A and B are shown apart, each in its own frame.
Chain A
Amino acid sequence: MPKKSNAFKRFASGTGFKLLIILIILIIIAVLISSDVLHGGSPFGKGFFSTVNLRSLFYQMVVPLFMMCGLGMLLIGGNIDLSVAAQATLFNAFFAVMCRDTSLPWWVIFIMALVIAAIVGLLHAFMVLRLHFPAFIATIGMSSVYTGIAGWLLNLTNVNVNNAAFLSIAKTTVFKLIPLTFLLGVVLVFICQFILSKTTFGRNCFAAGGNAFASRLAGINTGRTTTILFVLCSVFTCLGGLFYVSQTKKADPTALTGSAPNMTALSAVMLGGVAFSGGTGGMTGPLIALLVMRVLDNVLTILSVKTYWNTFAVGALLIVALIMDYLQAEKRRKALLAAVQ
């Protein structure tokens, strides 16, 4: 059998494919109800495919997208970081305050923020690996430390950023439609996917998440893998957070911890087929899952139903996806059993 059809088959049986179908159906529904297609008009220009709608859709996804990359890889490696929203708030606060109080060029501060992010990642890795803290609880604790420091830096008010060069990052769009920051996020997802599926490091991530003990015995340095994953997670979070500052032109002490993009990212990752216990999954599934969640939100907004039905729908979607997974696994198990007998 040619290799290409194999790859396609694998994709067709995966979570990503099902989500893709849901996504396409959702988009068709969105176009039908929001544009003039039913009245013989074009699907573009008005409603879902209008520039304004699409652009706001893309901008909403920037922060969860970056967090998703880090969290997804970390989760595959068998760890979790619940402090990403607080971390982003801290880096934003640091950036805004440094921009206001010093005369350093913005890119220097940008790099400093990234370095601090890396240090934060190292700190988390140290806690989990050396001190054997459970990642879940340690990162909850650290998240309130970061929120506190950010609040102290910002004095609990918004600090505006008005560096033209920095603000132009988020303003840049491709074809006047797709924001550069969103595009970078998508590229990052594919880079992560490539790393996971094609490199030794990626293989090590799966090994560490699947069975850390066995992989240590097999000679894999799981400690190093985990450390790199924590650092990457914080650095990606920092990038997403700073792009958010560039987008909103200010650092806000509560915006990110309030809207909880980390929970969006986490839901997307799990909806996209990464097991909570680690060791399985990829990054394209979560990307499609995030798109599904956002488009669903968008459809419901277009339908102008009460916003609480969005909350309901996201939860229901998660559960339906899990049930579908279960049914498929069950079918495979039955087929295997039949083959054995």
Chain B
Amino acid sequence: MNNAKSDGFFKTLFQKKVFPLLILLIFEIILFSVWAHARGSNFFAITTLRNILNNMTFAAFLTIGAGSLMLAGHMDLSASTIGAFCGIVTAWCIVHSVPWFLAIIIAIAFGIGFGALNAFIITRFRFPSFIATLGMSSVIRGLMFFFSSLGMGSGDGTAQNINFQNETLYAIGNQKLISEFSICVVIMLVIYVVFAIIIAKTKFGTKVKMLGGNPVAANLAGIKSKGITFLLFIISGGMAGVAGTLFASKMQQGSLQALSAAQFTGLTGAILGGISFGGGEGGLGGAFVGMLILNTFTIGMSVCNVNTNLSTIFNGLLLIIALALDFFRQARRRRV
């Protein structure tokens, strides 16, 4: 798009993938505001925004990993399991009276380690990442259940959630920092912005997108695909580790089922936000809007007190609508 600037700001915006999503988001907000008003409750309030951000915090970390991997044409289905593992590690460390900062470092190191392991088997044995990480997620889940039983409870090897109490970690998870927003939401926003800038503005980000767009051409252009794949999987594992640790801190529990729903939310958020499945197109900013749409919807449904079955149906339809919007945008571009 060389002539983007001369076309003016709005035309550029209109051609961006994010544009229909922003409209969808605004439409959602208006819809729920009116609907909630009709039902006598209030949607357009700061507490709603807080709930939305709280709801999406952990999935957003997974979106960073999933989104940047998908840009490079890869996928990590083990991220939520890695996150849960790291949560268990945090809890285990605290229970065994390891200082809280060391516990966090150990947990995130585990996340990075698993990410590196994923990257190793994918680059060394040329596995398709979808299936390799599917296998790894089973392996890690098994290890996590085993680990959670180590030296805990009755000691007969039964897997269990690990409860713990630590004031600092509780504060990180729940303390409000800026008006209504807790420390962990602020951490999420900061890290997200940093990664969005890295992907959008740095050489590394460009390389990632080239790798996803056309791996052969990228290789010929001298881009070291192995190194980038390694880094991306480490980012994904590390972010999953951060999410798992924060989740455990917030709940004061290392849960075996932690983040299990966040996997697909993170992935669908990224896809909804315009990161194409084959890679090469999109950015983390769009993915954030995608996440906002998904979570605004969930919270809106609960504010308006919608029946669960109906909200499940609407959730699915929302994805279809987003896909349809993208289709019409592309159809218009094709005609031009």
Q: Report A's interface with B, CB cutoff 8 A.
A: 127, 131-134, 136-138, 140-149, 151-152, 156, 263, 266-267, 270, 275-277, 306, 308-319, 322-323, 326
Q: Does the CB pair A306–B159 fall under 8 Å?
A: yes
Q: A137 with B319: in contact, given A144-B313, A148-B313, A314-B138 (CB under 8 Å)? A: yes
The listed residue (A131, A143, A144, A314) touching B323 by CB distance below 8 A is: A131
In the bound complex, residues from chain B placing their C-beta under 8 Å from that of A315 are 134-142
Task: Give residues of chain B (270-322) contacting chain A, Cβ–Cβ below 8 Å.
Answer: 271-272, 276-277, 307-320
Q: Residue among A136, A138, A322 with the most chain B CB within 10 A?
A: A322
Separation of A127 and B321 alpha carbons in the complex (Å): 11
Contact indicator B135/A319 (Cβ below 8 Å): yes
Q: How far is the CA of A101 from the CA of B127 in the complex (A)?
A: 51
Contact A137 B327 (CB under 8 A): no
B105 contact set on A, CB distance < 8 A: none
Q: Is the interface of B mostly helix, strand, loop or mixed?
A: helix
- Pick the 8 closest A-B CB pairs, nearest first: A312-B142, A315-B138, A141-B319, A308-B145, A148-B313, A148-B312, A318-B135, A144-B316
Contact call B268/A140, Cβ cutoff below 8 A: yes
Q: Give the residue of A148, A263, A317, A322 whose beta carbon is less than 8 angstroms from that of B316.
A: A148
B317 and A311: CB pair below 8 A?
no
Cβ–Cβ contact B277 & A276, under 8 A: no
A-B contact pairs, 28 of them (CB 8 A): A127-B323, A132-B327, A133-B327, A137-B268, A137-B272, A137-B277, A138-B323, A141-B268, A141-B318, A141-B323, A143-B316, A145-B320, A147-B312, A270-B131, A276-B131, A309-B142, A312-B138, A312-B146, A314-B135, A315-B135, A315-B136, A315-B142, A316-B138, A317-B135, A322-B127, A322-B131, A326-B125, A326-B126
Q: Which residue of A lies closest to B278 (CB)?
A: A134
How far is B153's CA from A306's CA once the two chains are assembled, in angstroms? 15
Count of inter-chain pairs, beta carbons less than 8 A: 144
Residues of B whose CB lies within 8 Å of any CB of A are 121, 125-128, 130-132, 134-146, 149, 157-159, 264, 268, 271-272, 276-277, 307-320, 323-324, 327, 330
Which of A146, A152, A317 has most chain B Cβ within 10 Å?
Answer: A152
**B157 to A, closest residue via Cβ:** A306
CB distance from A137 to the nearest CB of B (A): 5
- What are the residues of chain A within 8 A of B143 when measuring CB–CB? 312
Shortest Cβ gap from A79 to chain B (Å): 12
Give the distance to chain A from B192, nearest Cβ to Cβ, in Å: 22
Given contacts A156-B309, A318-B131, A141 and B317 within 8 Å (CB-CB) = yes
* Contact (Cβ within 8 A) B313 A149: yes
Which of B139, B141, B146, B324 has a CB less than 8 Å from the CB of A319?
B139
Q: How far is the CB of A99 from chain B (nearest CB, A)?
A: 20
Contact present for A276 and B159 (CB under 8 Å): no
Of B141, B314, B320, B327, the contact of A312 (CB 8 Å cutoff)? B141
B128:A311 contact, CB within 8 angstroms: no
A134 touches B271 (CB 8 A): yes
Contact at A311–B142, with CB atoms within 8 Å? yes
Once the chains bind, are A277 and B142 in contact (CB under 8 Å)? Answer: no
Distance, CA A141 to CA B139, complexed state (A): 28
- Contacts known (A133-B327, A270-B131); A323 close to B125, Cβ less than 8 A: yes
- Nearest residue (CB) in A for B312 is A148
Q: A138-B323, A312-B142, A313-B142 are in contact. List 20 more A-B contacts (CB 8 A).
A: A127-B320, A127-B323, A131-B324, A133-B327, A141-B317, A141-B318, A141-B320, A144-B313, A145-B316, A147-B312, A148-B314, A148-B315, A149-B309, A308-B144, A308-B159, A312-B138, A318-B134, A319-B136, A322-B127, A322-B131
Q: Is the CB of A142 within 8 A of B316?
A: yes
Partner of A322, one of B135, B142, B271: B135
CA distance A27 to B315 in the complex (A): 45
**Residue among A144, A275, A316 making CB contact with B312, cutoff 8 Å:** A144
Q: With A and B bound together, what is the CA distance between A137 and B126 in angstroms?
A: 25
Q: Contact check, A312 vs B131: say whether CB atoms are below 8 A apart.
A: no
CA of A144 to CA of B317, assembled, Å: 8
A102 to chain B, nearest CB (A): 22
Min distance, Cβ B297 to any Cβ of chain A, angstroms: 12
Nearest CB in chain A: distance from B80 CB, A: 14
Known: A145-B317, A148-B313, A152-B309. A322 touches B327 (CB 8 A): no
